[in-house]
Structure formats: structure tokens, C-alpha cells
């Protein structure tokens, strides 16, 4: 893990042995995986210092050097803060992971909408004295709960976007599905496209986008004719888990859009765990999101089994 600390608009990194010998060019492009356009911007705007003087981007760094990067200067507030208590699972100077409740949009779907989790995170940043530039890296459906990752500045957002695309951010879900899942584990590989007969529904379609869901049976409840499964995604299609399990003949409890019964008040889907390598410090991050439904939807469950 790389040591770093915030100093106003700047973030200072103490160069350890694993980064010694690398140039700033290599640090941004190869170690951090920063986009060329943003790397060029930091270089041209002189937003990087080494040992408090203007950096030479092609000079090797030495162990003990202090690299200061202006991540936070001149950031405009892009999201209107709205009062909300957010359940923070992890936070540092660059990223924040929060536990999303049900009945809440991840982000505004219309310009005037402000009652979303994104607005709530902006409020959290505001009241804790931070720059309120924030952007979601992925999303959850309105009635899906659990861990969501947000970025606090454009560079880390761009790196995380690339990590998500390259499947370097692992998202593990738990779901209650109808019926008895026969296989202890399996993979659903079925393309997903829009349902032309319904504005919001998706369906398995030969002409849809490639979609892969892996799953593992946690426990079967025969008396209630339902199964608790954990699943993780290789792709991130809209409603992917809901569509795939409905396609298998095991729709999620409460998911009436895809054939589930209405025995619970929402689709029984929860983003229980988020795992990734920190894009800048390279620390291993693992966040577990407890279920918070009232009344309870999921049975008592030991999250260490995920």
C-alpha cells in the first residue's frame, strides 16, 4: 500500500520501493492506468510536483520522494446536495462506498431530480467539508439494495470506469429466488436486450448484449419453495440478475416485473460485497453491506460465507 495524505487541493504520495525507478509518465499511464487525455491535462497545467518543485515527467522517482498531485483544484459542484443520512461503508480522499437502501434511485434520471443517492452523497461531502464533486461508478435498480462505489474527482472516476470495464471490480450479490435451484453452482450465459412490448423490461434475446452471471446456492428452503443464492457478474446489463433467473424459471421473490410473486415488498436482491484494488494507493478494498430491510426479507445469513 502506498502512503498518502491530503493537503488542501493536493494529495501527497510517499514513493515506496515498488514505485522507485518509475517516471511520472509511467506512474500515471501504467501503474494508475489514467487516460491519456487526463494525464496530458495534469502535465500541461503543472498540477504535479516532486518534493515541492515542478516535476520532470521523464525523470525516475526515488524512494522517499514526495509526489504531490492537484486532484481537487477548480472542481465544479456537478451534483446538488440533498439532505440524507447515508450509510458509509468505506471512505478516503478519493472514493466512497455507501450502502444503498430500497426505494431510492442511484442517480437523477431527470435534470430537476434531487432525491437520489448521488445527491445524498454530495450532501455528506458538503457537511464534512469536502469538495462536492462526486460521480457514481456503477448503479443499482431503485429497489435493489447494497454497496455502490462513488468517485470524488475526475481522475479516479476515469480509472475506476476502466477497471469496471475490465472486470477488475468484483460485485457479489445475494438473491432469494422462487423454487429449488437444482445445481449448487452454475453460469447463466444469455444475451439481454430490450423488450419491445414493455418500456422498462428486458429479456433474453439472441440479438441482445452479451451477459454472464455466475451463481452459487447458499441454502434451499423447501418448506417455503425458495432458494438463497449468491451471484457475481462478468457483465453489467440492466436488470441482468433479475432477467437471468427469470429466464431459468426462478424469478426473484417480489420481482413482479419478471414473474416473481409479491410475498415481499421489493425484488429480493442485495449487493452484499464489493471488492477491488484501490486505483491510486493499490490497497485491497473489501466492503460488506449489511441488509437493512424492515420488515426483514432475507433470512439470517452469515456474510462471512460470501
pLDDT in tens, 119-161: 999 999 999 999 889 999 999 999 999 999 999 999 999 999 9
- The full set of domain ranges for the chain reads 3-70, 171-271
Q: Sign of the CA dihedral 45, 9, 98, 134?
A: negative
Please report, for the chain, how many H helices and E strands are present, in that order: 5, 17
Percent of the chain that is helix, strand, coil (3-state, to 5) = 20, 30, 50
Q: Which CATH class is domain 171-271?
A: alpha beta
Give the range among 70-84, 124-138, 149-163, 178-192 with minimum mean pLDDT.
70-84
Which of 92, 93, 105, 141 is the catalytic position?
Answer: 141
Whole-angstrom Cα distance, residue 258 to residue 252?
A: 8
* Mean pLDDT over each residue of the chain, to the nearest integer: 93
Whether 74 sits among the annotated catalytic residues: the reply is no
- How confident is the model over 15-71, as pLDDT tens digits? 999 899 999 999 999 999 999 999 999 999 999 999 999 999 999 999 999 999 999
Give the pLDDT band (50/70/90) at residue 73: confident
Q: What is the pLDDT of residue 305?
A: 67
Tell me phi and psi for residue 14, to 5 degrees. Answer: -90, 120
Q: What is the pLDDT of residue 304?
A: 63
Cell 439472441 locates to 206
Q: What is the pLDDT of residue 86?
A: 97
Q: What is the pLDDT of residue 301?
A: 72
Q: How far is CA 125 from CA 76, 133, 139, 191, in A?
A: 14, 9, 19, 39
Q: What is the pLDDT of residue 303?
A: 66
Which is the CATH superfamily of the domain at 3-70? RNA-binding S4 domain (3.10.290.10)
Q: What is the pLDDT of residue 21?
A: 94
149 CB-near residues (< 8 Å, 6+ apart): 95, 96, 97, 136, 137, 138, 160, 169, 274, 276
Comparing 235 with 173, the larger pLDDT belongs to 173
Q: What is the pLDDT of residue 199?
A: 85
Amino acid at each position: 500500500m502506498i502512503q498518502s495524505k491530503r493537503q488542501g487541493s493536493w494529495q501527497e504520495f510517499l514513493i515506496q520501493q515498488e514505485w522507485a525507478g518509475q517516471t511520472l509518465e509511467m506512474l500515471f499511464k501504467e501503474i494508475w492506468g489514467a487516460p491519456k487525455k487526463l494525464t496530458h491535462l495534469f502535465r500541461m497545467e503543472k498540477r504535479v510536483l516532486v518534493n515541492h518543485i515542478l516535476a520532470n515527467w521523464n525523470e525516475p522517482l526515488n524512494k522517499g520522494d514526495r509526489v504531490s498531485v492537484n486532484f481537487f483544484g477548480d472542481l465544479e459542484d456537478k451534483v446538488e446536495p440533498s439532505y440524507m443520512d447515508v450509510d458509509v461503508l468505506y471512505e478516503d480522499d478519493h472514493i466512497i462506498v455507501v450502502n444503498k437502501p430500497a426505494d431510492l434511485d442511484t442517480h437523477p434520471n431527470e435534470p430537476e431530480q434531487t432525491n437520489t443517492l448521488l445527491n445524498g452523497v454530495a450532501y455528506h461531502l458538503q457537511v464534512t467539508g469536502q469538495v462536492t464533486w462526486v460521480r457514481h461508478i456503477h448503479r443499482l435498480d431503485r429497489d435493489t439494495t447494497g454497496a455502490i462505489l462513488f468517485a470524488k474527482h475526475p481522475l479516479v472516476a476515469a480509472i475506476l470506469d476502466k477497471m469496471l470495464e475490465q472486470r477488475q471490480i468484483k460485485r457479489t450479490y445475494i438473491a432469494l429466488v422462487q423454487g429449488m435451484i437444482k445445481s449448487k453452482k452454475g453460469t447463466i450465459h444469455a444475451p439481454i436486450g430490450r423488450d419491445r412490448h414493455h418500456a422498462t423490461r428486458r429479456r433474453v434475446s439472441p440479438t441482445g448484449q452479451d451477459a454472464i452471471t455466475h451463481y452459487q446456492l447458499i441454502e434451499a428452503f423447501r418448506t417455503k419453495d425458495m432458494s438463497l443464492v449468491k451471484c457475481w457478474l462478468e457483465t453489467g446489463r440492466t436488470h441482468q440478475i433479475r432477467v437471468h433467473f427469470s429466464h431459468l424459471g426462478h424469478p426473484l421473490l417480489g420481482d413482479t416485473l419478471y414473474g416473481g410473486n409479491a410475498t415481499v415488498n421489493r425484488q429480493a436482491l442485495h449487493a452484499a460485497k464489493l471488492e477491488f484494488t484501490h486505483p491510486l494507493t493499490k490497497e485491497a478494498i473489501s466492503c460488506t453491506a449489511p441488509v437493512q430491510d424492515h420488515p426483514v426479507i432475507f433470512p439470517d445469513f452469515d456474510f462471512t460465507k460470501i
